[in-house]
Structure 1
């Protein structure tokens, strides 16, 4: 008998806490709740979706699974945590699109990596007032860096309003224009924490 206690590692901090460091505590309470998940949780609400009008925008939306243009469409977001990876399942009406999120670089770097299939995007999270902003700073396809003219512009923000989690995601490409813009609100419908 060694006489030493079984030491368990300290619990992991939520992914966005790892990425944002001290700024995580400055998030509006509903945004902080949304990004503090334990093992998995579900949120629901409504959104408005507008797609860009070009054929290229339609193709990009199809490849990534973005929802069609709609008003007051029901939305559910299910987030599952597996170690240092979060998997986000977003359902807009009958359309589902999925991505995985991880820390890019060292904890506290402010950089998130989001993967949609063969595409990955590095996003430099920043807190501006009461809004968490998500500008894309790098993109890759099959691990190969994409040139700047193929880098999507992301005007994406999360905040809180009247106790609801508010999201506003506008994506565009330099030579194409708007791809998709979806915005709306969410509230928790269930939560399961790791025991």
Structure 2
């Protein structure tokens, strides 16, 4: 069986991740997870506009979340359902970076493992996958995945200069 996308990117450190994080990133084919998330959105009008354009989920506490992953030889598609709100992205490996296509933007993330957590750090962003945007604009876009009490936990936050916080969502997932 071939290596998964995250195994390719991380190499040996992948196998030192907690079991629930490895399990989520070890699938071939389809997998489904369910859990709960708390979502906060920024108050700055520019940030709210950016979040709306990016189709980020609305604010809420204990929002039910379902994540459906489809892994194939070319990458992974993540379909997230935050209550009734849907958000989809496509992940691929290129140039030793994780590329995530989310709406009009293509993010490039460097992944690293620290203290048992998997961190995604923005390494670049392109509009329409072609036009490079200043990486410094996206320095406050990051993700952390970890295990707490045997359960997979995630935290995603995004803030931009002048716009402030766009979103922060955090929660947990279990196989569904």
TM-score computed with the length of structure 1 as normaliser: 0.86
RMSD between aligned residues: 1.2
Q: Secondary structure at the match of 1:25?
A: helix
Unaligned runs of 5+ in 2: none
Following TM superposition, by how much is the alpha carbon of 1:135 offset from its aligned partner in structure 2, in angstroms?
1.0
Provide the residue aligned with 1:27 in structure 2.
17
Q: Distance in 1 between matches of 2:118 and 2:135?
A: 24
Report if aligned partners of 1:64, 1:97 keep a CA contact under 8 Å in 2. Answer: no
From 133, 144, 153, the counterpart of 1:157: 144
Following TM superposition, by how much is the alpha carbon of 1:81 offset from its aligned partner in structure 2, in angstroms?
1.2
Provide the residue aligned with 1:126 in structure 2.
112
Q: Distance in 2 between matches of 1:12 and 1:65?
A: 33
After superposition, what is the alpha-carbon deviation per residue over 1:82-105, rounded to whole angstroms, capped at 9, x for unaligned?
Answer: 212100001101001000000121
Tell whether 2:4 aligns with 1:17: no
After superposition, what is the alpha-carbon deviation per residue over 1:139-171, rounded to whole angstroms, capped at 9, x for unaligned?
Answer: 000211002453352232000011211001111
Larger proportion of strand: 2
Q: CA 1:149/1:155 → structure 2, altered by over 3 Å: closer, same or farther?
A: closer
Provide the residue aligned with 2:93 in structure 1.
103
Q: Distance in 2 between matches of 1:57 and 1:34?
A: 31
Following TM superposition, by how much is the alpha carbon of 1:27 offset from its aligned partner in structure 2, in angstroms?
0.7
Unaligned runs of 5+ in 1: 1-10, 190-195
Q: Distance in 1 between matches of 2:2 and 2:135?
A: 35
Report if aligned partners of 1:172, 1:179 keep a CA contact under 8 Å in 2. Answer: yes
TM-score computed with the length of structure 2 as normaliser: 0.95
From 88, 95, 102, the counterpart of 1:116: 102
Report if aligned partners of 1:37, 1:81 keep a CA contact under 8 Å in 2. Answer: yes
Provide the residue aligned with 2:121 in structure 1.
135
Provide the residue aligned with 2:167 in structure 1.
180
Q: CA 1:13/1:149 → structure 2, altered by over 3 Å: closer, same or farther?
A: closer
Q: Distance in 2 between matches of 1:63 and 1:76?
A: 22
The list of structure 1 runs, each at least 4 consecutive aligned residues, that deviate by more than 4 angstroms after superposition, is none
